[in-house]
Structure 1
Amino acid sequence: MKRSLITTMLALVLIAGTCVVNDTTNPVVTIVVPANNAVLAPGTITIKAVATDNKAIARVEFFAGAAKIGEDATASADTFDVSWTVSTEGSYTLKVVAWDKSDNTAEHSISVTIQTGGGGTGPTYHENDIVGGDSVWYPSGNPHIVKNNLDINQNGKLTIMPGCVVKFNTGAGFRVGQTTPGELVAIGKPDSGIVFTSNAATPNAGDWLGFDFYEETRTSSQLSYCDVNYAGWENYGAVNIEWSGSVRIDHTTIRNAPKYGIWFGGDNGYIAGFTGNTITGCGGYPIYIRPGKLSKLMGGNTLTGNAKNGIYVTSGNVTETGEWVNQGVPFVIGGSVSVGSADGAFLTIGKGATVKMGVDNHIAVGHSGPGGLKADSVVFTSAAATPQRGDWDGIWFYERSTDAECRLTNCIIEFGGGDGYGNVWIEDALPTITGCHIAHSASWGIYLSGADYPNPDELENNNTWDDNVSGNVRRP
Structure 2
Amino acid sequence: MTMSRQEIQIFPVPCILLVQVLWKRQKNCERGTRMKLGVLRFTLTALFWIAVFVVPAGAALAAGEIQRPVAVKVNGNMLDVEAQLIDGRTMVPLRAIFERLSATLEWDPNTRSITATKGTVVIHLQIDNIEAKIGDRASTLDVPPLLVNGSTYVPLRFVSEALGANVDFDSTTNTAIVTTDNSCNLPGGQVHNGTIKPGGETWSVCGSPHFVKDDFYVEGKDSPNLVIEAGAVVRFENGAGILVGLNAPGGLVVEGTEKDPVTFSADTAGAQPGFWKGIHFYGQTVKGRASIDFAHIEYAGGSNGAVTVTAGTSPVELTVRDTLFKNNAYAGIQLMENTRLSPQSKNLTITGTKTSPDGGGAPIVTAAYGTNGLPDGDYKENELNVVLIAAAMSSTTINTNTTWNKLSIPYQAKITVYVDGPSSPVLTIAPGTETIWEKLSGLTVGSYDRGGLIAKGTKERPITFTSQLERPGSWDGIGAGPYVGKDFKLEYVHVKDAVNGITLPEDLGPILTNSTIENSKEYGIYIKSSNVATDYLAGNTFRSNAKDIYTQ
Give the TM-score of the pair, scaled to structure 2.
0.64
Structure 1 pair 83/439, CA: closer, same or farther in 2 (3 Å)?
Answer: farther
After TM superposition, give the deviation of residue 439 of structure 1 in Å. Answer: 0.3
For residues 343 and 451 of structure 1, do their structure 2 counterparts lie closer, same or farther at Cα, with a shift above 3 Å needed? farther
Which of 134, 154, 157 aligns to 1:93? It is 134
Query: Is structure 2 residue 483 aligned with structure 1 residue 400?
Result: yes
Q: Give the aligned partner of residue 378 of structure 1.
A: 463
Q: Which has the larger radius of gyration?
A: 2
User: Residues 185, 453 of structure 1: CA spacing in aligned structure 2 closer, same or farther, 3 A cutoff?
Assistant: farther
Distance 2:349 2:336 in 1: 21
Cα distance in 1, alignment partners of residues 216 and 123 from structure 2: 29
Matched, 1:174 2:250: no
- Whether the aligned pair in 1 keeps the contact of 2:510 and 2:534 (CA below 8 Å) is no
Give the C-alpha shift of residue 86 in structure 1: 5.1
Q: Secondary structure at the match of 1:293?
A: helix
- Distance change >3 Å, CA 122–CA 288, structure 1 → 2: same
Structure 1 partner of 2:385: 309
Query: Is this contact kept in 2: 1:427–1:453, CA < 8 A?
Result: no
Is the alpha carbon distance of 1:122 and 1:453 closer, same or farther for their aligned partners in structure 2, counting shifts above 3 Å? Answer: farther
Distance 1:453 1:251, change over 3 A: farther
Structure 2: 5+ residue runs without aligned partners? 1-100, 108-112, 138-160, 166-177, 355-360
What secondary structure is seen at the aligned counterpart in 2 of 1:184? strand
> Which sits farther off after the overlay, 124-133 or 389-398?
124-133
CA contact (8 A) 1:215 1:246 kept: no
**Within the alignment, does 1:293 sit opposite 2:345 as a pair?**
no
Shift of 1:460: 1.0
Query: Judging changes above 3 Å, is the alpha-carbon distance between structure 1 residues 269 and 148 closer, same or farther for their aligned structure 2 residues?
Result: same
Cα–Cα, structure 1 residues 85 and 426, in superposed 2: closer, same or farther, change >3 Å?
Answer: farther
Match 2:545 to one of 458, 468, 472: 468
Q: Choose from 279, 296, 301 the match for 2:350.
A: 279
Structure 1 residues 410 and 126 mapped into 2: Cα distance closer, same or farther (>3 Å)?
same
Q: How does 1:252-263 map to 2 (within 5 A)?
A: 252-263=323-334
Q: Find the counterpart in structure 2 of residue 270 from structure 1.
A: 340
Question: Does structure 2 conserve the Cα–Cα contact (< 8 Å) formed by 1:313 and 1:333?
Answer: yes
Deviation at 1:232, TM superposition (A): 0.9
Match of 1:221 among 286, 290, 300: 290
Secondary structure, in 3 states, of the residue corresponding to 2:369?
helix
Instruction: Indicate the SS of the match to 1:148.
Output: strand
Q: Report the 3-state secondary structure (helix = DSSP H, G, I; strand = E; otherwise coil) of the residue aligned with 1:133.
A: coil
Q: Match of 1:163?
A: 231
Paired with 2:307 and 2:179, the residues of 1 have a C-alpha distance of 24
Q: In the aligned structure 2, how far is the partner of 1:430 from the partner of 1:356?
A: 27
- Residue 370 of structure 2 aligns to a residue in which SS? helix
Q: Does 1:455 align with 2:526?
A: no
Counterpart contact for 2:399–2:421, Cα < 8 Å: yes
Query: Is residue 145–residue 168 contact of structure 1 (8 Å, CA) maintained in 2?
Result: yes
| CA offset digits 1:298-345 (Å, max 9, x no partner) | x23222210001011123111111211122111111111111212201
Q: Is the Cα–Cα contact under 8 Å of residues 513 and 539 in structure 2 kept in the other structure?
A: yes
Number of residues of Structure 1 aligned to a counterpart in Structure 2: 376
Amino acid at match of 2:475: W
Contact 2:123-2:135 within 8 A present in 1 as well: no
Cα distance change, pair 83–351 in 1 and its aligned pair in 2 (3 A): farther
The one of 189, 210, 214 aligned to 2:278: 210
Q: Deviations over 1:203-223 (max 9, x none)?
A: 221111111100001122211
**CA separation in 1, counterparts of 2:367 and 2:280?**
17
Show the 5 A alignment for 1:39-438.
41-43=103-105, 92-95=133-136, 112-113=162-163, 121-154=187-220, 155-219=223-287, 220-233=289-302, 235-243=303-311, 244-266=315-337, 268-272=338-342, 273-283=344-354, 284-297=361-374, 299-314=375-390, 315-375=395-455, 376=457, 377-384=462-469, 387-403=470-486, 405-417=487-499, 422-428=500-506, 429-430=508-509, 432-438=511-517
Fraction of identical pairs, as percent: 24
Kept in 2, the 8 Å contact 1:91–1:114? The answer is no
Q: Which moved more, 1:366-375 or 1:125-134?
A: 125-134
| Aligned CA distance change for structure 1 residues 303 and 84 (closer, same or farther; 3 Å) | farther
Indicate the SS of the match to 2:285. coil
Work out whether 1:439 is the aligned partner of 2:518.
Answer: yes
Q: Using the alignment, how far apart are the partners of 2:453 and 2:423 within structure 1? A: 15
Aligned to 1:33: none
* DSSP-derived class of the 2:136 partner: strand
Q: Shift of residue 271 of structure 1?
A: 2.1
Take 2:247 and 2:432, find their aligned partners in 1: how far apart are those partners?
42
Q: Displacement, 1:409?
A: 1.1
Q: CA deviation at 1:85?
A: 8.8
2: distance between equivalents of 1:454 and 1:396?
19
Partner Cα separation in structure 2 for residue 91 and residue 157 of structure 1 = 41
RMSD: 2.8
Structure 1 counterpart of 2:333, which letter?
A: I
TM-score calculated relative to the size of structure 1: 0.73
C-alpha distance in structure 2 between counterparts of 1:454 and 1:330, whole Å = 36
How far residue 282 of structure 1 moved from its aligned partner, in angstroms, is 0.4
Please give the alpha-carbon distance, in whole angstroms, between the structure 2 residues aligned to 1:453 and 1:323.
31
Cα distance between partner residues in 1 of 2:206 and 2:133: 22
Q: Judge conservation of contact 2:236–2:265 (CA < 8 Å) in 1.
A: yes
Which amino acid is the alignment partner of residue 443 of structure 2?
A: I
Amino acid at match of 1:363: L
1:366–1:249 distance in 2 versus 1, CA, 3 Å: same
CA distance, structure 2, for counterparts of residue 128 and residue 463 of structure 1: 62
Q: Could you tell me how far 1:251 is from its partner in structure 2?
A: 1.0
Partner of 2:55: none
Q: Give per-residue Cα distances to partners, 1:265-284, cap 9 Å, x unaligned.
A: 32x12222321111110010
